[in-house]
Amino acid sequence: MKNLIVVLIGGFIAFAGYSQDRPKPEFNLVGITQASYRWNDPSLQKWEWILKPEVRFDFSKKIRFYVKGRFYADVTDNLEMGRSRVDEASRFSRRHLIGDRSEWELRETYLDLDLDNLGFLRVGKQQIVWGETDGLKLLDVVNPQNFREFILADFDESRIPLWSVKHDFMVDELNVQLVWIPDNSYHDLPELDHPFFPKSNLPELGNSQAMFNPVNKQTRFFKDSEFGVKLNQFKNGWDVSLNYLYTFDDFAIFGIQSSADPGFDLAVTPYYSRYHVIGGSFNKAVNSISLRGEVAANINREFGTLDSFDFPSNVTKNQLSSAIGVDWLPGENMFSAQVFVDKVFNVKTLFGRDPFDSFLTFLYRRDLFNDSMTLEFQEIHNLKRGDGLARVSANYFLLSNLELTAGTDLFYGDENELFGQFTKQNRMSLGLKWGI
Amino acid sequence: MKNLKNQIGKSAVILLGILIALIRPFASGSQSLPSGMEIATKTDIRNDGENVSRKLTMELIDKRGKSRTRETKTFRKYFGKERRTAIFYETPSNVKGTAFLVYDYPDVNEDDDQWLYLPALRKTRRISASNRGDYFLGTDFTYEDIKLESKLSVEDYTYKTVGKEMIDGKETYVVVGLPVDKETEKELGYSKIKAWVDAENWMIRKGEFWDVAGNHLKTTYIKDIKQVQNIWTALTVQVKNHKTGHKTNFTFSEVDYTTVIDDDFFTQQTLVRGL
């Protein structure tokens, strides 16, 4: 991996030196500050300051180099108290912590090559986004995610870019996208004492004394690479894609055994298991509405279960997830609803979830004063367990490049459930976003 | 008394003469005026290039005078009779990357296909073509206005020529258009339009719009019309919304009709990738 990055950067420098055309750098900077106050445990949950510089070099119309960084500081240090390591991401993709309150991260760095009839190649650290759904992810699993704020942060901010190669080309009217990801990075999860630590993901071990071993991570450059293909075609008003991804589950599975150490009953070793994702998506405008849908079959995915043992064991099962959504945009309003259905086959119990699960999402957005202001209400509701998340937000452009944001995030439901576990983190937020 | 009668008689004759003098040219002029549909068709078939690329600066001004500016690059190309348009937002940073793509089909019964790429989601959203009367991304232009690009739609309206007027020192035909049916009226959001069409180059120089309730909605001025590479081109378009007091100014620059635009510019992949 290190060699690949050296080759990439070396190639870029060499190319820059030999390029006939003088590169035309274009610089952009976006700054964000946002403070969130939680009222159940009255305190500032965060007061973050973010700077996102980006530079684009166009060597010619066919060759571009792009780099984007992010400097992040939380003056309260209440989201990731005392965190000193970020091990889930590979050495080349992780954020670099600076003390307790700040960090910097190379968000994206890639070389774009327009190969004419051979298509378009993007090589470097990037985000690859698949699928049609909002809020919950079925096919959008190419990149892992930072769960520092569970799913409250924008996906663009929380998605972890990976070192990868993406090649798009056309075969007649069919767009083919090949993806190769040699970067073994996984979801960045909060630690046990952090406010958004997902308790519902931990195995229930009863009164057993458990020893947690370090995460068993993949290290082989080629053999542990992920790869995928997306076929996409637009025909007769239908946008249809077929997707395949051979990937690692970005959530760790907990291997649990009797401990050899007499001081502990159990030894827990988290590891990442591999599975296949086969799926597709569509969208179609019908009169005044747009329909969209997505399906993902996860083949040979490992799950923790209590079916056969007193403590969780892991089984390999197939999972089918699907979603259908409808968007209606009358005037300056937008109504959007989605239904998600998820089923893991041939298993009675699963750890942290039910074998069958379903969600309903709803979004209402209204643009006011020629898009100077946007009001938004969003809800994600688990139809089976009754927990969920409701969000209300307002954005107002004070100037062309200065935006005021305000909002509230409300978790509800039983504290043992996926969303309900975060009711103590209900918050209201105020922020500013500006760009140059 | 006789003198008074004579004077009244003389005055009446003079007044009648003046009236005839005023009416005659108009009457003879209206006989020679082209029909409304002829004028609309002339704008519709006006040469606007096989393809064009240009910079478009959008200035949005609210009723208090507060202004927001957005810079975009726009591309348009004919694929046979099908017209494809792509708009990419370049500044400010917080809307940079937003992109819009429309496929406009020649068959009037076939709905256009439209997509909007939202960089915050990194996803492309399909937009129903029946929303063509909605305002385009905060401007005072509707999606349909953007698509028509200073032409008159020959499918959506019936037209009547109502006279000739001078606008900015140029002779224009004045046409009034009424939607062909109630459904079209509702879709477009206009119950009536009035256009001042340049008699020399068939460019629209001014437009007036009335909403479905019959209220005067907005006025459009095309202030700067020049030939670029032998094609008549509107370089400044201003619209004022009388209901809200909001104004939008479009300024076009770096207009290029001659460089052939790659077909790839008009794909969802380029929408996602950006320019």
Averages of pLDDT over runs of 10 residues in chain A (436 residues) are: 56 54 80 95 94 93 94 94 80 88 95 94 96 92 95 91 96 96 92 87 73 82 93 94 96 84 84 96 91 97 79 86 94 93 92 90 94 95 95 94 96 93 96 91
**Residue B20: its pLDDT value, please?**
46
- pLDDT-derived band of residue B11, with 50, 70 and 90 as boundaries? low
The answer to whether residue B54 sits within a structural domain is yes
**Residue B88: its pLDDT value, please?**
96
* pLDDT at residue B161 greater than cutoff 50: yes
> Hey, are the CB atoms on A129 and B111 less than 8 Å from each other?
no
Structure tokens at A31: 């700054």
> Hey, are the CB atoms on B94 and A30 less than 8 Å from each other?
yes
- pLDDT-derived band of residue B147, with 50, 70 and 90 as boundaries? confident
Q: Which domain range does residue B222 map to?
A: 36-273
Partners of residue B71 on adjacent β-strands? B57, B91
Contact A54, A68 (CB under 8 A): yes
**Residue B163: its pLDDT value, please?**
95
B204 backbone dihedrals φ, ψ, rounded to 5°: -75, 130
Of A80-94, A401-415, B103-117, B138-152, the range with the lowest mean pLDDT is A80-94
Residue of A nearest to B139 (CA): A370
Class at the top of the CATH hierarchy for domain A2-435: mainly beta
**Residue B94: its pLDDT value, please?**
75
Partners of residue B26 on adjacent β-strands? none
For the residues B136-153, what does the mean pLDDT come to? Answer: 89
The answer to whether residue B217 sits within a structural domain is yes
Structure tokens at B35: 């029909």
The answer to whether residue B27 sits within a structural domain is no
**Three-state SS string across A275-325, please?**
EEEEEEEEEEEECCEEEEEEEEEEEEEEEEECCCCCCCEEEEEEEEEEEEE
Domain locations in chain A as residue ranges: 2-435
Residues from chain A that touch B53, judged by Cβ atoms under 8 A, are: none
CA distance A63 to B1: 96
**Residue A294: its pLDDT value, please?**
97
The answer to whether residue B69 sits within a structural domain is yes
Residue of A nearest to B132 (CA): A331
**Residue A310: its pLDDT value, please?**
63
**Residue A14: its pLDDT value, please?**
54
Strands (E), chain B: 51-61, 67-79, 82-91, 99-104, 113-118, 123-127, 157-167, 170-179, 192-198, 204-210, 216-228, 231-241, 247-256
The answer to whether residue B84 sits within a structural domain is yes
**Residue B1: its pLDDT value, please?**
46
Contact A210, A267 (CB under 8 A): yes
- The model's pLDDT over B217-250, given as tens digits with 9 standing for 90+, comes to 999 999 899 999 999 999 999 999 999 999 999 9
Question: Given phi > 0 = left and psi -120 to 50 = alpha, else beta, which region is A346?
Answer: left
Residues from chain B that touch A292, judged by Cβ atoms under 8 A, are: 126
Any idea what the Cα angle at residue B58 is, between residues B56 and B61, rounded to 5°?
Answer: 165
- pLDDT-derived band of residue B7, with 50, 70 and 90 as boundaries? low
Residues 32-91 of A with CB under 8 A from B: none
**Residue A8: its pLDDT value, please?**
57
What's the number of domains chain B is made of? 1
For the residues B111-139, what does the mean pLDDT come to? Answer: 87
Interface test with A, best of B53, B61, B269 (most A CBs within 10 A): B269
The answer to whether residue B51 sits within a structural domain is yes
Is A173 part of the contact surface with chain B (CB cutoff 8 Å)? no
CA distance B124 to B115: 6
Residue of B nearest to A127 (CA): B122
Helix (H, G, I), strand (E, B) or coil at A185: coil
**Residue B24: its pLDDT value, please?**
43
Which value does ipTM take for this structure?
0.87
Nearest CB to A401; choose among B92, B123, B134: B92
Residue among B72, B238, B138 nearest A397 (CA):
B138
Residues 318-377 of A with CB under 8 A from B: 327, 329-332, 367, 369-372
The answer to whether residue B22 sits within a structural domain is no
Query: 10 Å Cβ neighbour count for A207?
Result: 5
CATH code of the domain covering residue B266 = 2.50.20.10
* pLDDT at residue B8 greater than cutoff 80: no
**Residue B225: its pLDDT value, please?**
95
